[in-house]
Amino acid sequence: MGGLTYSLASNQMIQTLGLGWAFRILAVVSCVMNVLSTIVIRDRNKAVGAVQNGFDFRLFKRMEFLLLLGWGVFSMLGYVVLLFSLPNYARSIGLTAKQGSVIGALLNLGQGTSTLLIFSLLSH
């Protein structure tokens, strides 16, 4: 749901404060949220007494892992390109900046609700 707010708030900041200040504010908000997340995160292995490694680098020798990793990279690349270029594409076909930000927000809303729906269906 953060993407929904992010898209609409970004457009509003660009319209009222200008592009430079919108970038500055978004950078400060992102930095603060990342710092807070870094402070709050806890190491689960210490709590449960796990003895396994978090990641085994020998996996890079296995073709199955490399193919899965490649699939993940390319699928995320397609997602990220769509997520960040859809509002710009909306502008290129004649829509306003506000309409473009609403389209980006709706994409984020759809992803958020579909993720909740999938997890609720899988948990039953």
Residues 4-30: pLDDT tens digits?
788 888 889 999 999 999 999 999 999
User: What is the C-alpha separation between 86 and 22, in angstroms, rounded?
Assistant: 19
Of all residues in the chain, the percent with pLDDT exceeding 70 is: 99
Q: Which sequence spans correspond to the domains of the chain?
A: 2-42+59-122
pLDDT at site 93: 93
pLDDT at 43 over 80: no
What pLDDT, on a 0 to 100 scale, did the predictor assign at position 61? 94
For residue 57, the 8-state DSSP code is: G
Q: Which of 56-60, 80-84, 94-98 has the lowest mean pLDDT?
A: 80-84
Q: pTM of the predicted model, to two decimals?
A: 0.56
Between the CA of residue 16 and those of 41, 53, 88, 106, what are the distances in Å?
35, 50, 19, 22
Is 98 exposed, middle or buried, given 0-12, 13-18 or 19+ CB atoms closer than 10 A? middle
